[in-house]
Structures are given as structure tokens and as C-alpha cells.
Amino acid sequence: MRHNKKGLKLGRTKSHRAALLSNMAYSLLLHKEIRTTHAKAKELRRYTERLITYGKKDSTHGRRLAFKFLRRKEGVKILFDEVAPLYKERQGGYTRIIKLGNRKNDNAPVVLIQLVDAVNIDKKKKDNKKDKKITKE
């Protein structure tokens, strides 16, 4: 019986699942939104919200815990320098899952998982970069 067993297995071994979620969390922090299946997004939400909570505390211990999961220095840097400061006042709910429909080949439900406040800020940065390129010419 599966009493008190948290998390979805996603049809993978423990090591494969850990690698998958680590890579997806890094991609989510880097791009601020990713497209994936609904089951993966629900599982990814648990880990990403925990990582952002570590980032809000901004301690050495929090950085070590984040690195233990992300396994990339760049990911930890993005988490602590860019993403976590956006959520200092927010008590939770850092991610949003938007249903997009079903995938054509296997009919799997596809969703867009995004960081709530970071999507608008990321777009503003891109617009500013475009404006700077235009003014230089």
C-alpha cells in the first residue's frame, strides 16, 4: 500500500526522476516558463516552490540545499539573485499552471508552468535590450 507516500513516480526510477526534475527546475528558473505535461508540472511545482523558499532566506545553508537539488552553480545564482527577490513579500504560490490542451501524438495533457511575477519582468528586460540595440545603430 502507498500510505503516506508523497509525489508521483512518473514511470521512472528514482535517479531518473531526480535528474528530470532537476533539469526542469533549472529550465524553469532560467526561462521563467516551460511547456510540459500536466503530471510533470504538478511534481515540478513542489520542488520549485521549495527552492524559491530557500532563496528567500538567502543563507549559506539555503544555497547548499538548493545546489544539492539543482546541481548547477548557474541555477543557484539565478535563483538567489534574480528569482527569489521577486517573492520576498509573497507567502507562497510562486508558480502558475495553465492548461494548453492535449498533445497530438499521444493525447497527453500539455500545460505551461510559469513563475508568477517573473514572466512580466523577463519580457520587460527583453524589450529593453531591443530598445538598446535600436538606439546603438
pTM of the full structure: 0.83
Q: Is residue 4 part of a domain?
A: no
* Total domains, the chain: 1
Distances (CA, A) of 55 to 15, 72, 85, 95, 111: 24, 15, 8, 15, 25
Give the Cα-Cα-Cα angle 80, 9, 70 (nearest 5 degrees). Answer: 20
Question: What pLDDT score was predicted for residue 114?
Answer: 95
Q: 17: pLDDT confidence band, cut at 50, 70 and 90?
A: very high
87 pLDDT above the threshold of 90: yes
**CATH number of the structural domain spanning residue 99:** 3.90.1030.10
Q: Tell me, what's the pLDDT at 5?
A: 86
Does 8 reside within a domain?
no
For residue 29, the surrounding DSSP H or E stretch is helix 14-31
Residue 61 lies in a domain: yes
Give tens-digit pLDDT for 59-82.
999 999 999 999 999 999 999 999
Averaged pLDDT of the chain? 89
